[in-house]
Amino acid sequence: MTQWMTMISNFGFPLTLSLFVLLRLDKKMDELLKEWKKIDQDQRKENAK
């Protein structure tokens, strides 16, 4: 039982923190991708003129 508690305490916090950061980063990346696609479409319209 002590071995399991040690593993959870050693890996639990870093894993939790990593998941939190990845989830927040995922939302930001989605927003960035949408903006990038919008800019790309605007540039294509601009070049087509």
Residue span of the structural domain in which 36 resides: 1-48
How many independent structural domains does the chain possess? 1
pLDDT value at residue 24: 86
Per-residue tokens: 25: 């980063």
Per-residue tokens: 22: 């990845």
As a whole number of Å, the CA-based R_g of the chain is 21
Kindly tell me if the per-residue pLDDT of 7 is higher than 70.
no
Largest CA distance in the chain: 70
Kindly tell me if the per-residue pLDDT of 10 is higher than 70.
yes
Higher local confidence (pLDDT), 48 or 33: 33
